[in-house]
Structure 1
Amino acid sequence: MNRLQFYFKAQTAHGLHSPSIYSLYCEVLNPYLKGQLSYSQLKEALANRYSDCTIMEIQSYKDIAKIPQNTILLFEKPHSQEKIWNEIHSHEGVIQTVDLFDLGILFLKPICPKQHFYLRKMD
């Protein structure tokens, strides 16, 4: 998917029906997309927000079955490795995904319903 296709598919906070993703978007993800937070600040904010979770960065395919629940995976440039991204985010262990085009966030939290979000910055 190219950036233009992504832009038309993605939404801002106005279309979100998940309260947890809505607050994550408003408080952390939109500031990151606007350049107000660096990548390391984003990781720190996620670690603070989800203190019961492990944050892992991945660059290539990982066997999701071997990753413990309550893990958040950060996958940089998911659309440059679309085959791997699609395999990982469609795995049954991945409950929620957030696609920011340049960064994919995958939640392995069993208490959430399975959902996929495409988000872009809100002006």
Structure 2
Amino acid sequence: MKSTTIHIGHRIRQGQFAYFTLIQLNLYYLCLMANYRFFLDYLKHYLTAKTRHGVHSPFVYKLIDEVIYDFREKSYEKSIEQERTKLKNNDHSIVVTDLGAGSMMNNGRKKMIKTIAKNALKPKKVAQLLARLAYNFQPASIIELGTCLAITSSYLAKAVPTAHVVSVEGCPETAKVARTTLSNLAIDNVEIKVGNFDVLLAPIIDNLEKLDFLFVDGNHRKEATLTYFKTCLPKVSSRSVLIFDDIYWSTGMKEAWQEIKNHPDVTLTIDLFYIGLVFFKQDQVKEHFKIRF
């Protein structure tokens, strides 16, 4: 049986046509719809979120005023951003192993490092916020799920040089580039573990007396996100902070975020749209905040 491909084209110049397959059109449509939904989520968040002046919780007000809205340049930022620029100009290619959402499309494919740097690294604004949060809470240990090229890892490590940072990366070749990033920045308090989050997170958590600071940036699926959250619960305390990336990334991630908020052990959440902060403060009346960032 012959496969049928539908072509739609328009004349660019005489004798030349641009063709799009039905599959390409469907993918293009899906991307447009995803971006449209994401924009609507952002607009809804912006219209309903508060600034520090609409917050009555002393803890949250102070966190917003002194940490979230503290945009002063820090001494370590310039060197990390220079490393980011180098990665965004790196023409070398690596074979990608993706164990998270999107793995069916990306596994075994070669990607240029600069493409990964441009599309997968946390934006400067978010990475620097994570560093400020780490500095504010001064955790003894930091866990990061999703090393990527180690720009966010570098921010966390530089913000709290005394912390032991354990970062988990699913792709061996990406991890090699990440180790080079850390070496270039003379960072020695980050331990990169390579493998599946589902396998590695539990023993990492088990080795901790208490969980101080966790950033989840990988495998953006509802079930996986909730599994990581539940794995952490036995070791959380009133000083713990869990941070989940891309909480509006998909319907599943939005559902996962809602379930995390509703969990009886959670007493406080802060929705910054790009990331969500989760706290377990025992003296805190259960509250949820949406903050513009």
State the TM-score, normalizing by the size of structure 2: 0.37
Deviation at 1:111, TM superposition (A): 1.4
Partner of 1:110: 282
Partner of 2:191: none
* Count of matched residue pairs: 119
Partner of 1:74: 243
Partner of 2:53: 14
Q: Identify the structure with the greater helix proportion.
A: 2
Closer, same or farther: CA 30–53 of 1 in aligned 2, 3 Å: farther
Deviation at 1:86, TM superposition (A): 0.7
Does structure 2 conserve the Cα–Cα contact (< 8 Å) formed by 1:47 and 1:53?
no
What letter is aligned with 2:289?
A: F
Partner of 1:42: 132
Closer, same or farther: CA 45–2 of 1 in aligned 2, 3 Å: same
Closer, same or farther: CA 77–36 of 1 in aligned 2, 3 Å: closer
For 1:18-47, what per-residue CA distance to the aligned partner results, in whole angstroms no more than 9, with x for missing partners? 111001000101236xx4971442242232
Partner SS, residue 70 of structure 2: helix
Closer, same or farther: CA 97–58 of 1 in aligned 2, 3 Å: same
Cα distance in structure 2, aligned partners of 1:120 and 1:46: 19
Closer, same or farther: CA 9–40 of 1 in aligned 2, 3 Å: closer
What letter is aligned with 1:97?
A: T
Cα distance in structure 2, aligned partners of 1:37 and 1:14: 24
Closer, same or farther: CA 120–45 of 1 in aligned 2, 3 Å: same
Q: Which of these two proteins has the greater Rg computed from alpha carbons?
A: 2
Q: Give unmatched runs, 5+ long, in structure 2.
A: 1-39, 72-124, 141-209, 218-224
* Coordinate RMSD, CA, aligned: 2.7
Q: Give unmatched runs, 5+ long, in structure 1.
A: none
